[in-house]
Amino acid sequence: MFPARLGSHLLVKMDRFKKNIEKLKSHCPGNKILLMVKADAYGHGLSEIVEFSFDQLEIKEFGVATLGEALTLRKNFPDKTFEVYVFSDLQFQHKELRKQYLENRLIPVLSHKDDLVEVLSDKSFSQMPLCLKFNTGMNRLGIHHEDTGEVIELLKSRGRNHVFHLMTHMANASMPMESNNRNIWQRERFSGIKEAFKKAGIEVEGTSLGNSGTVEQSYSLDETHIRPGLMAYGPTSLAPQHRDKGWWHGEIISELKTKVLNTFEVKKGDPLGYSSVPAPDSGVIAILALGYGDGISTHYSGAHLFHKGVKGKIVGRVCMDMTYVLFPKGTKIERGEPFVVWNEEVDKFMELAKETNTLPYELVIQLTARVPRIYQLV
């Protein structure tokens, strides 16, 4: 499918991504999707995922973390009429950067009263959609829920009787939504905030609290929007002991492929690479063309990979450009062979995340620009 000279690459299968989104839409037919595409669309390619989602999947709202990410989208797609929400690094302290929201039709997620005051005090922002995020217990970003009354009075004093989007963020969505006390408190607080706006006569057009774990448990579907992140790209975000609470079984949309640079037999105790780390057992070593320069960190040591159904173990020190994998004696593996680090097999992908003491989406996000992203549409 791809020339052998391509070497290491991340193959992003858009048909799997499409299936994931279609599954989301089927389960949440009454909700608009605000798709989270921060961190280069969780490592899969910001512009490519957004373009495909807008053109092929009819998604019209996207969430990024930084103003820089948002400006990249507007620069790459000046004629596409999707909305872009900036969730965290707004750069609102700088007047010149604030203007970028107006000039590029971006929506800042206002999480601090000072930023809200800046918007309400500047006449040029009078027509900008107001998106307010409240802290109901995440204790990261958000206007404190106890300041709801003050915010309402501030809006009314400036003649603003309409909020485009009201949101919060669940801190423990990987835990049971129906029984975890913090999840219960956050939902109750958000309901109270919505009710306060309603009583004050302030129209709220859109609402959301549903990040992936919340949606996986079918909570927050009474809001206008859901905000899928990790789940859109395949993996569950529920804690292992609570995965029976969720309905989601997505497809991993990427395959990390590399090649074998060298193979040789070793005996237990033979030195391997830097620091002459002794081989933990006798067997066959395969040197892969991936290292920490590609995002395969030193934490991968000890993790297991599979080749043609045979289980191998990463041994020695992961170096900048190469990784040692030890296979049992007699394993047939040749120099130049293609090697798949992960593919659509969800269980193995999740196990690799566990063994490397990382989160599933970190596996992809950590891949550096040296690993090209290749997109397969069918």
- Secondary structure string (H, E, C) spanning 67-105: HHHHHHHHHHCCCCCCEEEEEEECCCCCHHHHHHHHHCC
Q: Inform me whether the pLDDT recorded for 320 exceeds 50.
A: yes
> Per residue in 235-247, pLDDT tens?
999 999 999 999 9
Q: Inform me whether the pLDDT recorded for 2 exceeds 90.
A: no
- Could you give the 3-state DSSP secondary structure of residue 193? helix
Mean confidence (pLDDT) of the chain = 95
Find the domain containing 306 and state its range: 254-376
Q: Compute the radius of gyration of the chain from its Cα atoms.
A: 24
CA distance 55 to 52: 5
- 235 touches 349 (CB < 8 A): yes
Do 73 and 49 share a domain, yes or no? yes
> Per residue in 149-172, pLDDT tens?
999 999 999 999 999 999 999 999
Determine the pLDDT at residue 341: 97
Write down which residue in 216, 241, 266 finishes a domain.
241
Q: Place 93 in a pLDDT band, splitting at 50, 70 and 90.
A: confident
3 is a domain residue: no
Do 62 and 85 share a domain, yes or no? yes
CA distance 143 to 110: 8
249 is a domain residue: no
Do 221 and 268 share a domain, yes or no? no
Do 186 and 97 share a domain, yes or no? yes
> Per residue in 8-40, pLDDT tens?
999 999 999 999 999 999 999 999 999 999 999
Q: Which two tokens stand for residue 214?
A: 């919340």
> Per residue in 127-141, pLDDT tens?
999 999 999 999 999
Tell me the pTM.
0.94
Do 154 and 69 share a domain, yes or no? yes
Q: Place 70 in a pLDDT band, splitting at 50, 70 and 90.
A: very high
Write down which residue in 194, 218, 241 finishes a domain.
241
CATH value at residue 233? 3.20.20.10
% the chain with pLDDT above 90: 94
* 358: CB partners within 8 A, 6+ apart: 299, 366
The tally of domains found in the chain comes to: 2
